[in-house]
Structure 1
Amino acid sequence: MAFYLNQVPFEEARENFESELLNVNFFHPREEEIETVLAVGRITCKPVLAKRSNPHFNASAVDGFAVRAKDTFFARETSPILLKVGENCLRVDTGDLIPEGFDAVIMVEDVLYPEPGVISVIKPVTPGTNIRFIGEDFNEEEVLLPAFAKVKPADVGALLAGGVKTLKVLKKLKALFIPTGDEIVPFSETPEPGQIPDTNSSFIKAVLAEYGYETFIHPIVRDDPELLYKTVKDNIEKYDVIIINAGSSAGRDDYAAKVIERLGRVLVHGLATKPGKPTILGIAGNKPVIGLPGFPLSAYLVCEIILKPLAEKYYKNEFHDYGKIKATLTKTLISTTGVDDFVWGKVTRVAGRYCFTPLSRGASVSSTLLKANALLRIPRFSEGYKEGSEVEIALKEPLAEVEQYLTVTGSHDLLLDLIDSFLREKYGIKLSSSHVGSLNGIVAVEKNYAKLAGVHLLDPETGEYNKSYVEKRLKGYVLINLSLREQGLIVARGNPKKISGLADLVKPGVTFVNRQKGSGTRVFLDYLLKKENLNAREISGYDREEYTHLAVAAKVKNGLADCGLGIYAAAKIFDLDFIPLGEERYDLLLREETLEDTQVKKLLEVINSQEFKKEVENLGGYKTTYTGQIVEKG
């Protein structure tokens, strides 16, 4: 049996796995006959021949009159030929059968009508003019589709025209997905503390559908090795692929490897990848049995690097490959040598180049996959890439969609989501926002990693917002106000700890959740603490950081903190109490030349509209007094 610590490079593991499957005839084509009208997306298993010619009769290619070409040879504008309808010519429409004895069609636009029942021909036609002859498109027994072709919508029409009502296609790979774990409950149930909703089953089923798998979901199997053994044993003959989700690691309840070993062979237990390390590749009953890690990013990656290539080898087709491009890395990435490190991120176009911004690398973070549209592979012998490096990334959506993104970074605000909705509805522009704090937002605009940045940095010396911070880094800038907003303490409904101000944060038993360093909210907090002569080190939770106002509010809502600093709108969304501490100015920073950018012009149209301002005011805690106005230039 292979051991978990013997991590294998994924390409080597995949090659050995596929080689073993080849030896047991796994990739041998298995066919079924289906109706042509249901064949879109399926793969032909042999050449598809026409059963009849198309057209299968001589047909008119235009609306007009069927004639004998010889009757028109002497027709001229100065001496037209008169033909009697019903005798020397017959009226036909596009697609009509050419009557016997006629060999050409004159377009209806090319004749005159000197009298009822008579047409005047002013120029001659040759035999075959405007006629589609039998087999002009294709002939009986001609190959319409080769073997291993993916059937497209247009193919269906051609196949039916050729009399192909059914065709033989490769059987879909049938996969059984087995979710495991005592802590797992159906996603339809409300989970109790300690329980995890089974989202992986539906998620991976959808992923595998893109690769041609027909996936069936087994009821959740508890952490019982004998029950898991029986489940796999009872189903091994019914499916082409067995996938055991979770139980592939080295924990006390991880039985998958032992079960596979009892039923067949474990070829690999541990891939030299990050994420995806605790993966099992085995064979039982001449079928692949795969132990898939439980974390979403890990599970998806293994689908990409193992299950997708397996399907491509069976179907002899590639699935959803949007190609690779070069992009500038916006953040330094450190990697552990010895493993292939896969990093999901967002690629956008800024200042004529593509920029790749890495997203959270935690294997359990589902939101990363929501935001990501590209994947970077750091080879196992590399220690990583520095910010500003040119890297090759694999696209996970068409390049045309990448071009639709307008990049905004910096400080988080709920209004960015509102702007995104307006831009999508009105202009088809998609806002790509990342929350890195106001200071990092300024740096991103300076380095042309983003077109705009949300900033709200209070200068404690002058009492002004943003100007002094921006001028230290950037020339030729513009600050456009998005809103004035209320900052304050977010506390539980009813304020059970009786918090009335910042002084209460240093009291015993009061826990706090903070925003990250570099955020405008953090700068505002530190300013207020200094003003009131309060020591930040005496605040329990001062070093606990979140990256958005909603995340702060969620911590309070779920009882993980007694209070946090944030905006009123976030407190309102979670039905929490709010203690105002002050009003601040939240601006959008951009380079002056970016004002001419088409996407930015549309954004400015949105934020200057009365419709947008009305929705902002309805959120609560915002004022639109200066919204859309240039408040600083430098």
Structure 2
Amino acid sequence: MNNEESLTAVDVAELLKITKNTVYEMVKRGELPGYKVGKKLRIDKKDVENYINSQKVAKGSNNQIKILIDEPVIEENLSNIKKAENSNDIIISGQDVILDVLAEKIREKANDIRVLRSNTGSYSGLYDLYNDKISISSVHLWDGDTNEYNTAFVRKLVPGISCLIINLAYRNVGFYVPKGNPNKITNWKDLIKQDISMINREKGSGIRILLDEKLRVNNINREQIKGYNIEKQSHSAVARSIARGEGNVGIGNEKAANQVDGIDFIKIQEERYDLVIKESDLKYPIYQLIIRTIQSEEFKREIESLGGYDLKDIGKILDKT
């Protein structure tokens, strides 16, 4: 690509490791120059590069790394900071647009708080929570031994620390296949068919762990799956790869599948998408505000407007570890 090339919102989201909706918000706020070609948003690559260069971290006089932006936080920068240099910083880890909406609501209600976003998968998010690199982690990790979501992983990855597991939503996950499902893919054992090649998610993502756990409990050898080591960084990227004919099957949530032409979605199961907060942090008013926000009717209505979520338990504390 050359510097004059224009990028779509999806292209920019993948470069910055943020969600597509965050890209739209950045253009709306004037942080990134954008323009329309027909009905589609376009952003020049050189403007994205200028943005990245302007957001790089610098060392202060005391040799402590200081982050220079409020939002979004680029993933590489997060590895250089602890939970927050400033007690007024909140870092929320996860990739779903629900978290972008939550961050916006908290900023509106507490304008003295910086709400930052880390675009990492569930496994890495819990690891960072345990190591005080972030404040809150989202999680959707299926455990093959219990046939349940999240609790077992929170106990293993955040050991010895009492955490609240608060529901955000339920989402359908399943196979992404070419339109009409020409290879008749309906179950996990179909992945080892000789004429099947898959597009996988990265290690640490909820979908990758779901796949690996399902392979384990069904005694399927991953080495028999063509394309197992081909990884994409988002549901949308997997869906687009299948639509382009780069593979016969991928796995992701239904919401992303509905945004891509040329593929069908074959439901596997319903996943639980939760937020994990350390119980000891509830002494800080900001965490109480976050929970109240999630439990509010206003927040529920806004998430309902996005479509694709079952909100029957939104805001409920489903478990405590």
Does TM, scored on the shorter chain, surpass 0.5?
yes
1:391-450 deviations in Å (ceiling 9; x for gaps): xxxxxxxx9xx87652012x4323212323333445445542223322222221112111
1:354-503, aligned counterparts within 5 Å? Answer: 359-360=75-76, 405-409=89-93, 411-428=94-111, 431-472=115-156, 473-474=158-159, 475-503=161-189
1:172-571, aligned counterparts within 5 Å? Answer: 187=6, 297=49, 326-327=63-64, 359-360=75-76, 405-409=89-93, 411-428=94-111, 431-472=115-156, 473-474=158-159, 475-571=161-257
Residue number in structure 2 paired with 1:121? none
1:376-400 deviations in Å (ceiling 9; x for gaps): xxxxxxxxxxx7899xxxxxxxx9x
The 1:619/1:512 distance shift into structure 2, 3 A limit, reads: farther
Say whether the 8 Å CA contact 2:175–2:252 is kept in structure 1.
Answer: yes
1:534-572 deviations in Å (ceiling 9; x for gaps): 322222221122333233233334443333211111112
1:205-243 deviations in Å (ceiling 9; x for gaps): xxxxxxxxxxxxxxxxxxxxxxxxxxxxxxxxxxxxxxx
Amino acid at match of 2:207: T
Say whether the 8 Å CA contact 1:435–1:547 is kept in structure 2.
Answer: no
Residue number in structure 2 paired with 1:603? 290
1:299-357 deviations in Å (ceiling 9; x for gaps): 975x999xxxxxxxxxxxxxxx996665479xxxxxxxxxxxxxxx7778xxxxxxxx8
Amino acid at match of 2:197: T
SS in 1 for 2:134: coil
Measured in 1, the distance between the counterparts of 2:311 and 2:142 equals: 19
The 1:543/1:452 distance shift into structure 2, 3 A limit, reads: same
Who wins on radius of gyration, i.e. which is larger? 1
Say whether the 8 Å CA contact 2:75–2:120 is kept in structure 1.
Answer: no
The 1:615/1:554 distance shift into structure 2, 3 A limit, reads: farther
Q: Which of the residues 269, 278, 281 maps onto 1:591?
A: 278
SS in 2 for 1:579: strand
The 1:346/1:539 distance shift into structure 2, 3 A limit, reads: farther
SS in 1 for 2:149: coil
Gap runs ≥5 in structure 2: 9-45
Measured in 1, the distance between the counterparts of 2:270 and 2:98 equals: 16
Residue number in structure 1 paired with 2:269? 582
The 1:534/1:459 distance shift into structure 2, 3 A limit, reads: same
The 1:389/1:436 distance shift into structure 2, 3 A limit, reads: closer
Structure ranking higher in strand proportion = 1
Q: State the 1:591 CA deviation.
A: 1.0
Residue number in structure 1 paired with 2:311? 624
SS in 2 for 1:573: coil
Q: State the 1:622 CA deviation.
A: 2.1
Q: Is the deviation greater in 509-518 or in 578-587?
A: 509-518
Q: State the 1:618 CA deviation.
A: 4.3
Residue number in structure 1 paired with 2:22? none
Measured in 2, the distance between the counterparts of 1:407 and 1:346 equals: 14
Matched positions, count: 275
Say whether the 8 Å CA contact 1:435–1:548 is kept in structure 2.
Answer: no
Measured in 1, the distance between the counterparts of 2:309 and 2:81 equals: 40
Say whether the 8 Å CA contact 1:407–1:452 is kept in structure 2.
Answer: yes
SS in 2 for 1:584: strand
Amino acid at match of 1:511: S
Measured in 1, the distance between the counterparts of 2:163 and 2:265 equals: 35
Measured in 2, the distance between the counterparts of 1:476 and 1:462 equals: 20
Measured in 1, the distance between the counterparts of 2:190 and 2:252 equals: 16
Q: Which of the residues 259, 265, 290 maps onto 1:573?
A: 259
Amino acid at match of 2:204: G
The 1:586/1:347 distance shift into structure 2, 3 A limit, reads: same
Gap runs ≥5 in structure 1: 1-180, 190-293, 306-320, 330-344, 349-356, 361-371, 375-386, 391-398
The 1:188/1:521 distance shift into structure 2, 3 A limit, reads: closer
Measured in 1, the distance between the counterparts of 2:175 and 2:241 equals: 13
Say whether the 8 Å CA contact 1:478–1:633 is kept in structure 2.
Answer: yes
Measured in 1, the distance between the counterparts of 2:225 and 2:167 equals: 33
Say whether the 8 Å CA contact 2:81–2:133 is kept in structure 1.
Answer: no
Q: State the 1:461 CA deviation.
A: 1.6
Amino acid at match of 1:633: K
Say whether the 8 Å CA contact 1:476–1:633 is kept in structure 2.
Answer: yes
Say whether the 8 Å CA contact 2:55–2:68 is kept in structure 1.
Answer: no
The 1:563/1:326 distance shift into structure 2, 3 A limit, reads: farther
Amino acid at match of 1:610: E
Measured in 1, the distance between the counterparts of 2:142 and 2:7 equals: 46
Say whether the 8 Å CA contact 1:485–1:621 is kept in structure 2.
Answer: yes
The 1:326/1:563 distance shift into structure 2, 3 A limit, reads: farther
Amino acid at match of 1:603: I
Measured in 2, the distance between the counterparts of 1:551 and 1:592 equals: 35
Q: State the 1:186 CA deviation.
A: 6.5
SS in 1 for 2:226: coil
TM-score normalised over the length of structure 1: 0.38
Say whether the 8 Å CA contact 1:567–1:621 is kept in structure 2.
Answer: no
1:498-531 deviations in Å (ceiling 9; x for gaps): 4333333223343322222222222211222234
Q: State the 1:611 CA deviation.
A: 2.9
